[in-house]
């Protein structure tokens, strides 16, 4: 092990850069995309329908609606629920901005609520204080793939007549008391963005057991037209359609669905790989006092999407930010999930949020580093990450 950090011109732990994330795309996916291109039907059609059917079987949910992103799916759901000016929607500050942007797009008011230190998920004990007569929805993000405390969140929602939407962008494959995340409350949305547990390049899926919400969402997905466009051009359809609502252009293509169909078949394998890698990570990092990891709650079986560690840099001569830079120089790809939304200029300006508003989110933000995690990683890769962390801690301990 080099006794100089790469950032100070020492030799990096790895010769080649370890990517932070990498999609697992095999020959099967490539062939299915080619078959779709050759079929002559490229946009929403039979493959999207198949993908929705397979998703229903996998999740045991009654309705599945393929869309072009998780963001779009959540936008449609909020719109279908008539979220409007004057309404309040509760969200964690530790999610991706698009989920909360949706609330602003509908002229409603985002209300942030703080998280738990153990898993960075919404702290149910804080929710009651955030609920007013204007609250309509709670968006529960399953951070890193670790399921939220859904029994408590659902029960608070029930007591206050609120709808719960699960932001399951990180957590396809994760279960909570035997149920798939995304299907535990009124509705949920998956993401198939390029980095997620399974991918269609860009894409998403709405899940719900509520038929009325599903029908409305299906309509809003394609311009508010009362029939799926693809049916209009087949012999079972007709040229006639009605525009009955103000909808969006949020449909998924059959090219994307072709990818999704193959990826979904591999999800349980990906989950197992991710789990094994996380266990190896935990073992490799266990003897470092400065590093702690997130806790899985009882009754949950997560499909880990990212592997965030918490680094206590108070005993180090460098800050966590400098530590992250030094890790990159050791050729370890890293990221951070997330910069708390209430500290972003958009929300500081529109909602007048400020430092100090959500102390737990701010505390963990000072500590979090997301380490690489994807099925193609090897134990050697994890050894390199752990050795790089150990090297830097030993070099920079006060």
Ligand X SMILES: *Cc1c(COP(=O)(O)O)cnc(C)c1O
Q: Please give the Cα distance from 38 to 49 (Å, whole number).
A: 18
Question: Judged by CB under 6 A, which stretch of 22-30, 130-138, 164-172, 238-246 contacts ligand X?
Answer: 164-172
Whether the CB-CB separation of 273 and 267 falls below 8 Å is answered with no
Q: Which is nearer to ligand X, 208 or 284 (CB)?
A: 208
Q: According to CB under 6 A, which residues from 198 to 217 bind ligand X? A: 204
Least Cα distance to 347 among 91, 83, 69, 73 occurs for: 91
Q: Which is nearer to ligand X, 166 or 290 (CB)?
A: 166
Q: State in angstroms the smallest separation of the CB of 83 from ligand X.
A: 17
Q: How far apart, in Å, are the Cα atoms of 301 and each of 103, 120, 209, 320?
A: 30, 16, 22, 30
Q: Decide: is 71 part of the binding site for ligand X (CB under 6 A).
A: yes
SS3 166: strand
Q: State in angstroms the smallest separation of the CB of 96 from ligand X.
A: 4
227 catalytic? Reply is no
SS3 323: helix
Q: State in angstroms the smallest separation of the CB of 204 from ligand X.
A: 5
Q: Decide: is 69 part of the binding site for ligand X (CB under 6 A).
A: yes
Catalytic residue among 79, 109, 116, 196: 196
Q: Which is nearer to ligand X, 167 or 330 (CB)?
A: 167
Q: State in angstroms the smallest separation of the CB of 297 from ligand X.
A: 18
Strands (E), 242-358: 291-293, 300-301, 307-311
Q: Decide: is 191 part of the binding site for ligand X (CB under 6 A).
A: yes
Q: State in angstroms the smallest separation of the CB of 182 from ligand X.
A: 12
Q: Decide: is 70 part of the binding site for ligand X (CB under 6 A).
A: yes
Phi-psi region of 303 (alpha: psi -120 to 50; beta: other; left: phi over 0): beta
For 124, the enclosing helix (H) or strand (E) is helix 124-127
Q: Decide: is 96 part of the binding site for ligand X (CB under 6 A).
A: yes
161, burial (CB in 10 Å: exposed 0-12, middle 13-18, buried 19+) = exposed
Among 167, 228, 330, 357, binds ligand X (CB under 6 A): 167
264 contacts: CB under 8 Å, gap ≥ 6: 51, 54, 55, 58, 198
242 contacts: CB under 8 Å, gap ≥ 6: 225, 226, 227
Q: Please give the Cα distance from 244 to 188 (Å, whole number).
A: 24
Number of residues that bind ligand X (CB under 6 A): 14
Q: Which is nearer to ligand X, 98 or 293 (CB)?
A: 98
Question: Judged by CB under 6 A, which stretch of 68-76, 105-113, 219-227, 293-301 contacts ligand X?
Answer: 68-76
Q: Decide: is 170 part of the binding site for ligand X (CB under 6 A).
A: yes
Q: Decide: is 95 part of the binding site for ligand X (CB under 6 A).
A: yes
Least Cα distance to 120 among 277, 337, 285 occurs for: 337
Q: Which is nearer to ligand X, 12 or 340 (CB)?
A: 340
Question: Judged by CB under 6 A, which stretch of 13-21, 65-73, 210-218, 379-387 contacts ligand X?
Answer: 65-73
Q: Decide: is 370 part of the binding site for ligand X (CB under 6 A).
A: no
Q: State in angstroms the smallest separation of the CB of 203 from ligand X.
A: 7
Q: Decide: is 98 part of the binding site for ligand X (CB under 6 A).
A: yes
Q: State in angstroms the smallest separation of the CB of 162 from ligand X.
A: 20
Question: Judged by CB under 6 A, which stretch of 18-26, 64-72, 75-83, 132-140 contacts ligand X?
Answer: 64-72
Q: Decide: is 253 part of the binding site for ligand X (CB under 6 A).
A: no
Whether the CB-CB separation of 180 and 205 falls below 8 Å is answered with no
Whether the CB-CB separation of 254 and 48 falls below 8 Å is answered with yes
The residues that bridge with 138 in the sheet, in sequence order, are: 90, 164
Q: How far apart, in Å, are the Cα atoms of 214 and each of 140, 231, 371?
A: 19, 18, 37
Q: Which is nearer to ligand X, 141 or 300 (CB)?
A: 141
Q: Which residues lie near ligand X (CB under 6 A)? A: 69-71, 95-96, 98-99, 141, 167, 169-170, 191, 193, 204
């Amino acid at each position: 092990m080099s006794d100089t950090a790469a950032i100070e011109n020492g030799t990096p732990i790895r010769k080649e850069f370890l990517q932070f994330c990498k999609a697992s795309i095999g020959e099967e996916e490539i062939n299915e995309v080619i078959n779709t291109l050759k079929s002559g039907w490229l946009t929403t059609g039979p493959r999207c329908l198949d993908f929705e059917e397979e998703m229903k079987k996998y999740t045991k949910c009654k309705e599945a609606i393929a869309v072009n992103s998780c963001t779009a799916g959540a936008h449609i759901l909020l719109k279908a629920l008539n979220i409007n000016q004057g309404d309040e929607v509760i969200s964690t500050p530790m999610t991706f901005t698009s989920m909360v942007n949706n609330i602003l797009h509908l002229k409603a008011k985002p209300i942030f609520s703080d998280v738990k230190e153990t898993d960075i998920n919404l702290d149910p004990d804080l929710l009651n204080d955030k609920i007013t007569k204007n609250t309509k929805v709670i968006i529960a993000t399953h951070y890193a793939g670790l399921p939220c405390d859904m029994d408590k969140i659902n029960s608070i929602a029930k007591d206050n007549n609120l709808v719960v939407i699960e932001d399951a962008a990180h957590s396809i494959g994760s279960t909570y008391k035997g149920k798939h995340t995304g299907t535990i409350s009124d509705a949920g949305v998956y993401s198939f963005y390029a980095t997620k547990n399974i991918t269609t390049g860009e894409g998403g899926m709405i899940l719900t057991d509520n038929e009325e919400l599903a029908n409305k969402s299906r309509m809003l997905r394609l311009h508010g037209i009362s029939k799926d466009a693809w049916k209009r051009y087949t012999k079972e359809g007709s040229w006639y359609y009605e525009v009955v609502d103000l909808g969006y252009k949020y449909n998924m293509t059959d090219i994307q669905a072709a990818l999704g169909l193959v990826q979904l078949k591999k999800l349980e394998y990906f989950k197992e790989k991710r789990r094994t890698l996380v266990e190896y990570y935990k073992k490799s990092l266990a003897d470092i006092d400065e590093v702690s990891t997130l806790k899985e709650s009882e009754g949950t079986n997560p499909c880990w999407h990212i592997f965030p560690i918490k680094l206590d840099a108070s005993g180090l001569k460098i800050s966590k930010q400098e530590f992250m830079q030094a890790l990159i120089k050791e050729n370890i790809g890293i990221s951070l999930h997330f910069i708390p939304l209430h500290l972003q200029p958009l929300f500081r300006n529109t909602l007048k949020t400020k430092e100090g508003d959500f102390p737990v989110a701010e505390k963990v933000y000072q500590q979090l580093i997301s380490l690489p995690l994807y099925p193609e990683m090897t134990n050697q890769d994890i050894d390199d990450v752990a050795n790089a962390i150990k090297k830097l801690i030993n070099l920079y301990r006060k």
